[in-house]
Structure 1
């Protein structure tokens, strides 16, 4: 773990580029360090000034009375290298480079940033930025930034790739009354990334929930490793922008075509247990919920409302968000029946009617929270002539104290008439919304996190004792020597077979006679396919013959395939014709791989054959850290799972064999990173075993 103690809590800070001129960044940073109440020593660095803001000023970092633990750079980018080197020689442990003018400006800036990073690494000095706003910690306290203002003390860590987002959220938080433990502006992420700060916040006793705004992930493997550990300690909520890039990547495989630009992030977040927010409001709704409410034990929600319509809306939202409407015990129902009006609904949602005052809300909420089948509650209040908003809010506060392990949310569906109640809840830090849906979304995020946090970890990674790495290495070596990127079917079958994946034996024939010999070896009936890495859709050019049952049919089929392809594609290089035993029909599946830039191999599973592009019934997982339980869950998310279990009297398929095959594919593409794309389509699943019929592999 990277130790960031002297970054957030340094004993001394040098501000290089400190200025006496109000409004200049170097002046704002000095003022911020003084006004936040920082208890360490601040050394303004400016050779032209004797003092700045009442502090003694020094001509350079190496002239301070004692070495600074941290230095903040607010100087032109051109001077950054000499100053970084001086900081390193002076014993500075952390460099916060506010300075812009690096890789965000182009090629020359990128080269300058690389040199800055090299300098920092030479002196074992960690770098935040460059091109960042800086950082704040309200518990140290420290404000090494040029932000206007200083956050309220709280338990939310906010890590942002966008400096403007830091400044905007900070300004908004004052009106919202929201407190933070840390603010971190990542800037260009030349050295320290979101993963380092997530790791630090997970260990920080003053942080309860971790928020991130990111545009990309710098080091996918490190991010995954850190996030998997961190979510067991703190909820991580991420807003990832840039989801509307130009759709799916250009790819030669079905899997590559199905994997859109944002899919790897979605998959990575889900596998790690990260909660993904879709918009800014959701990000901070969840932050407030986690910071101020207990995590529910499960997903059973009770609704108390004084209006039927909002109750129905809440019920719909609960089902859509994969939550469950709580079912009350007989004792709860009897108690509600005894005290509520005859017209009231005593089942969930509990409708206390429009004439309900605070006492009726209090009674109903107390009864449902006392029910063992309720994990959380939402109170919906509409403004009627007799509504008592402040008293109803106070009743909610009392119930939260009485049942501290059950989160309570509110939707006060109105404006001026309900303002007193809304203000009361805000002061008590009970999440209150204008409509039910955001409250339900927050509960859903919390319930999902509780499930992930409490889930026992499967420590054992995928391991197979019977892998033949030598055969794979030799086959790939021959293909590279042939200057090819796409494997022939026979080569692909050999590679997957070497990893214990049951593939139909495939023979490469160069003459009609050779094809007939191979057909007899395989056993009739057989399938013939043209062998050429340049032809992806063989059927379209007459390059496939199926159900051939004799030597004569195979010989004729060979000749017809070669003639067809020469006629359609006269310039394409042909390697011969592949001969393959024709297998009995099974459940058609696809098991595929595409390689993501950040996170590595992405495994796909779903219905194969003609259904792939028609139904797009595919679930994805990262090969990184994939375990058996996650493969089983992946399979269960698809329609293929219904067929595998046995549909309309059909025998169940061998799901264990499917799980094993996916695991072996994940191991293959992890062991051999040069495999960039792979499709087994179709693979036939049988009541016993599985068979890979058509295997396509592309290498880099």
Structure 2
């Protein structure tokens, strides 16, 4: 259990701020501890009372005679730090701070929270909260919270950054018979956060699935490392509310403009195997499915229904979710044809018709589940006059036992007439929904997690021993010394070359004669571009001339560019004119990076050129933990991938060279955290190799 050993299973608990008065938080915590069946010792602490809820009360924590492993603090905010200090002197390893009035109220509260955290650090204590509801574990059992009731015993660990959400879910869960292994209100996450609790739940033998409601992730790098390991053991489902600020201020580059406010979380969750829920409803529909269903062997879904409409809706959702409709064997189809009415649909969805009773459902489901091409099954039922929901459900329950490796989910459309059957499904541990869509969504979650878990571990970050870090440091030093944050094109190209990223030759010239000299070294034709950190879109001011194939053309272009810039942007500082070798045309791509507040650098790759922001054919990955396989998957997600593989007779692009360039870009931004943004657009991908043409690098 690591950092949380005995947090959920302490030998003794002190409740600081315990109260005799009903309705007080301190009284509710004492009652919950007693009523939960907690087997250890409970010590109420209140200097004014000698007995609370039948338990001896103590004037202070230090007056408690024996050792204490957990203290729950419910005292006014102004007294919390002193109470925590007493707990530290007592040698208590864990605190749950219920009290509000910390960073959530502003600077004064933030300063108080910092003092509280510092006190915990001083005494080596770990703290949940402050400003939280508390925690409960049904297998200890313990309920160190002020919820109205204790959760039912189950195998779902629920972590919530919102206390009100946790309380509401607990109340709802009892009404539907949903159990939890543990529930944790994270509060302000002054010390312990979702990271420690996800790691603990992943190692907990009583937890099968981890469900989280989060509003932010404070330590993105550590989150990625810990959760990537946790999801290899158990499914982690997260509802992330709100939006990240990452990318919102990064509109100076194409990559920054493409990175939406919530994109970093999507990318992070996908890379570390988290299943992202989009609503509280979906969060618990997925949690229930993972709690009760096996992970299917594949994505082939069969549907058995007594109504065509819901069957079509389910089929549409199967395709929309990236699943496939199972194709039955010839033997299965022949058996279905022999045993079902002539009007029945046989080819998936299987429609047993509106007059189908339990025996017809049983027959169809038996044949479908026995088919080797079926990985999971959804049973849909409409309450027709002759339907037999209860009898049909009994058949479903029996078949589930016969085929334990194939998930069965229900979609029982209707209400009152389906209530008893729905209850039977719940008692048997079979997820049952009112409509087809959530059933298909649950199967999609199961399938996606299964695919992630089966992916071979490739945890080694990309390494390039041939990179020249000293050259990059020297370039950055010169840029900063020049009071600039934007690199010139020649400097950016030098950075790329230092990291083995193939870039078109480029040099800086300050006179027409220098430009001609550089052009002759490179060989014609060449391109001339104005070199100014203040001019991001050079073509807009006549700052680019292409296809120059003679000394005269270079001299003329040099003068014209300088005149254009002086006319349109007389205040711009111009460092000279960049002379660049004009490269042959290739497939135009973009490789970029923008830095996220929580998760660090995000790498982008996709279709480049002038239409990059219009088409937005770009895929993102976090640089941290990026592997070659992830880069290959990243490319495969784009429409540009079709062009790269060879389209309409064109030769395929050099994909290994492109993967290498993306990997080297990721290594560069990880090695140099001062890099704020990179845009390499376009990159010309060739049949052999590639060439970066226009490179923009911004440092902080």
Same fold (TM over 0.5): yes
CA contact (8 A) 1:295 1:447 kept: yes
Q: Secondary structure at the match of 1:610?
A: helix
1:454, 1:557 → 2: CA distance? 58
Partner of 1:287: 287
What's the CA shift string for 1:18-70, capped at 9, x where partnerless? Answer: 11111111111111111100010111111111111111111111110112111
Which residue does the alignment assign to 2:60? 60
Q: Deviations over 1:562-581 (max 9, x none)?
A: 11001001111111110001
For 1:620 and 1:375, locate their aligned partners in 2 and report how far apart those are by CA, in whole Å: 31
Could you say which residue in structure 2 is the equivalent of 1:157?
157
Q: Tell me, what secondary structure is at the counterpart of 1:284?
A: helix
Q: Distance in 1 between matches of 2:382 and 2:55?
A: 57
Counterpart in the other structure of 2:603: 603
Residue segments in structure 2 that go unaligned for 5+ positions in a row:
none
State whether residues 6 and 93 of structure 1, in contact with CA within 8 Å, keep that contact through their aligned partners in structure 2. no
Structure 1 window deviating more from structure 2 (87-96 vs 420-429): it is 420-429
Map 1:428-577; keep pairs closer than 5 Å: 428-577=428-577
Q: Aligned partners of 2:407 and 2:652: how far apart in 1?
A: 43
**CA distance in structure 2 between the aligned counterparts of 1:248 and 1:108, rounded to whole angstroms:** 28
CA distance in structure 2 between the partners assigned to 1:565 and 1:180 by the alignment: 67
In 1, Cα distance between equivalents of 2:116 and 2:420: 55
Partner of 1:339 in structure 2? 339
Query: Which residue does the alignment assign to 1:698?
Result: 698
Partner of 1:367: 367
Distance 1:4 1:440 in 2: 36
What residue in structure 2 maps to residue 424 of structure 1? 424
| Alpha-carbon distance in structure 1 between the residues aligned to 2:345 and 2:118 | 69
Contact 2:460 2:625 in 1 (8 A): no
CA distance in 2, matches of 1:267, 1:522: 41
Which stretch of structure 1 is more off in the superposition, 107-116 or 657-666? 107-116
Offset at residue 142 of structure 1 (A): 0.6
CA separation in 2, counterparts of 1:417 and 1:56? 53
RMSD: 1.1
Contact 1:133 1:185 in 2 (8 A): yes
Q: C-alpha deviations, 1:155-175, integer Å up to 9, x for none?
A: 000000001111000011111
Query: Cα offset for 1:118?
Result: 0.8
What's the offset of the Cα at 1:332? 1.0
Task: Write the distance in 2 (CA, Å) between the matches of 1:255 and 1:157.
Answer: 37
Which residue is 1:390 aligned to? 390
Q: CA deviation at 1:246?
A: 10
Match of 1:251 in 2: 251
- SS of residue matched to 1:341: coil
Could you tell me whether the CA contact under 8 Å between 1:249 and 1:261 is conserved in 2? Answer: no
Q: State the Cα deviation string for residues 156-211 of structure 1 (Å, max 9, x = none).
A: 00000001111000011111110000000000111101010000000000000000
Kept after mapping to 1: 8 A contact 2:3/2:196: no
Distance 1:251 1:353 in 2: 56
8 Å contact 2:606–2:618 — kept in the other structure? yes
- The SS at the match of 2:7 is helix
The Cα shift of 1:248 comes to: 4.0
Rounded Cα–Cα distance in structure 1 between residues aligned with 2:571 and 2:409? 69
Q: Is the 8 A contact 1:137 1:143 kept in 2?
A: yes
CA apart distance, 1:433: 1.1
Distance in 2, matches of 1:28 and 1:98, equals 12
Distance in 2 (CA, whole Å) between partners of 1:234 and 1:578 is 54
Q: Distance in 2 between matches of 1:556 and 1:297?
A: 68
Q: 3-state SS of the aligned residue for 1:211?
A: strand
In the alignment, the residues of structure 1 paired with residue 143 and residue 112 of structure 2 have an alpha-carbon distance, to the nearest angstrom, of 27
Q: Give, in whole Å, the separation in 2 of the partners of 1:245 and 1:218.
A: 13
**Map of 2:666 onto structure 1:** 666
Which residue in 2 is equivalent to 1:613? Answer: 613
Equivalent in the alignment of 2:328: 328
What do the CA deviations read for 1:483-535 (whole angstroms, capped 9, x no partner)? 11111000000001100000111101111111111111111000000000011
- Give me the whole-angstrom Cα distance separating, in 2, the residues matched to 1:418 and 1:241: 34
Quote the residue 2:263 is aligned against.
263
> 2:121 aligns to what SS in structure 1?
helix
- Matches of 2:211 and 2:596 in 1, distance apart? 24
Using the TM superposition, give the Cα deviation of residue 245 of structure 1 relative to its aligned residue in structure 2, in angstroms: 7.3
What is the SS of the residue equivalent to 2:6? helix
1:248, 1:258 within 8 Å by CA — same for their partners in 2? no
Is 2:195 the partner of 1:208?
Answer: no
Cα distance in structure 2, aligned partners of 1:245 and 1:361: 52
Contact 2:305 2:350 in 1 (8 A): yes
Deviations 1:623-670 (A, max 9, x none): 010000000000000011011111111111101100000000000000
Please give the alpha-carbon distance, in whole angstroms, between the structure 2 residues aligned to 1:197 and 1:230: 11
What TM-score, normalized by structure 2, do the two folds share? 0.99
- Alpha-carbon distance between aligned partners in 2 of 1:629 and 1:427, rounded to the nearest angstrom: 43
Would the aligned equivalents of 2:246 and 2:264 in 1 still touch at CA under 8 Å?
no
> Do 2:246 and 2:597's aligned partners in 1 also have CA atoms closer than 8 Å?
no
Q: Identify the residue that residue 354 of structure 1 maps to in structure 2.
A: 354
The alpha-carbon deviation at position 215 of structure 1 amounts to 0.5
Alignment of 1:242 with 2:260, yes or no, is no
Tell me if structure 2 keeps the 8 A contact 1:249–1:260: no
CA distance 1:460–1:172, change in 2 (3 Å): same
CA distance in 2, matches of 1:389, 1:6: 46
Contact 2:526 2:548 in 1 (8 A): yes
> What secondary structure is seen at the aligned counterpart in 2 of 1:101?
coil
Deviations for 1:137-167, whole angstroms, at most 9, x for unmatched residues? 0000011101110000000000000011110
1 CA distance for matches of 2:195 and 2:42? 29
Written as runs of structure 1 = structure 2, the 5 A alignment for 1:673-692 is 673-692=673-692
**Does residue 183 in structure 1 map to residue 186 in structure 2?**
no
